[in-house]
Structure 1
Amino acid sequence: MVAALELYLDVDATRRIRTLWRALDDEGIPSLGSLHQKHRPHVSLAAAHHIDPHAVADALDGVPLGRGLPVEMNFAGQFVGRVLWLGVTVTPELLALHEVVHTRLHERGVEVWEHYRPGRWVPHCTISLRVPNPVMGQAIRRCLEVLPLTATITGAAVADHAKDIHQTL
Structure 2
Amino acid sequence: MVAALELYLDVDATRRVRTLWRALEAEGIPTMASLLQQKHRPHVSLAAARTLAPAAVAEALDGLPVGRGLTLDLDFVGQFVGRVLWLGVTPTAELLDHHRRVHERLDQAGVEVWDLYRPGRWVPHCTVSMRVPNPHMATAVRRCLEILPVRATVTGAAVTDHANDIDEPLPF
Query: How many Å separate the matches in 2 of 1:140 and 1:59?
Result: 38
Q: 1:34-113 alignment to 2 at 5 Å?
A: 34-35=34-35, 36-113=37-114
- Number of positions where the alignment pairs a residue of Structure 1 with one of Structure 2: 169
Measured after TM superposition, the shift of residue 105 of structure 1 is 0.3
Root-mean-square deviation over aligned CA pairs? 0.6
Deviations 1:118-163 (A, max 9, x none): 0000000000001011111110000000000000001000000011
Question: Is the partner of 2:51 in helix, strand or coil?
Answer: coil
- Gap regions ≥5 residues in structure 1: none
Measured after TM superposition, the shift of residue 67 of structure 1 is 1.7
Query: How many Å separate the matches in 2 of 1:96 and 1:43?
Result: 15
Measured after TM superposition, the shift of residue 76 of structure 1 is 0.3
Query: In the alignment, which residue of structure 1 is the partner of 2:24?
Result: 24
- Gap regions ≥5 residues in structure 2: none
Query: How many Å separate the matches in 2 of 1:22 and 1:34?
Result: 9
In structure 2, what residue type is equivalent to 1:4? A
Query: In the alignment, which residue of structure 2 is the partner of 1:33?
Result: 33
Query: In the alignment, which residue of structure 1 is the partner of 2:150?
Result: 149
In structure 1, what residue type is equivalent to 2:29? I
Give the TM-score of the pair, scaled to structure 1: 0.99
Flag as ranges the 4+ runs of structure 1 deviating above 2 A. Answer: none
In structure 2, what residue type is equivalent to 1:11? V
Query: How many Å separate the matches in 1 of 2:69 and 2:34?
Result: 28
Question: Is the partner of 2:98 in helix, strand or coil?
Answer: helix
**Identity, % of aligned positions:** 72
Question: Is the partner of 1:166 in helix, strand or coil?
Answer: strand
Query: How many Å separate the matches in 1 of 2:68 and 2:104?
Result: 19
**Residue 121 (1) aligns with residue 122 (2):** yes
Give the TM-score of the pair, scaled to structure 2: 0.97
